[in-house]
Amino acid sequence: VLLFPLGVYLQAGQEPENPFTGDAAAIEEGRGLLNAACGGYCHATTQGGATDAPDLFDCEWWHGDSDGDLFTVIRDGVPDTRMQGFGGMFPDDDIWRLIAVIRADSRCVDSGTEDLSRRE
């Protein structure tokens, strides 16, 4: 399988597709990455966890809500915030795994509202 860099897709005007969406093994790997690199440092990984960083599992996205937007934020970071870029630390596949677990564990339902019974 030939995978192109994210920028190729974005330049062509197509939204990149996460190769790990719905892949249970990749989601578990992503969960491990999330807990090791994000959880406890900046982002809460359980519902109600108190941090000053945005909740990764609610329905409110500050810097875009597509998988491509999330990829860019994780890879490049967000200027003038504590959100550093992880592109030099994680290969693209690991960034996609992080996005897969964020989506799998989301409390957001199709209507754009939160299902508070999830991620407890």
Domain ranges within the chain, ordered by starting residue = 21-104
Evaluated on CA atoms 16, 85, 98, 102, the torsion sign reads: negative
What number of other Cβ atoms are within 10 A of residue 52's Cβ?
7
Q: Say which CATH class 21-104 falls into.
A: mainly alpha
pLDDT digits (tens, 9 = 90+) for 59-92: 888 888 899 999 999 999 999 999 999 999 999 9
Q: Specify the pTM.
A: 0.78
Say which residue, 99 or 39, is predicted with more confidence. Answer: 99
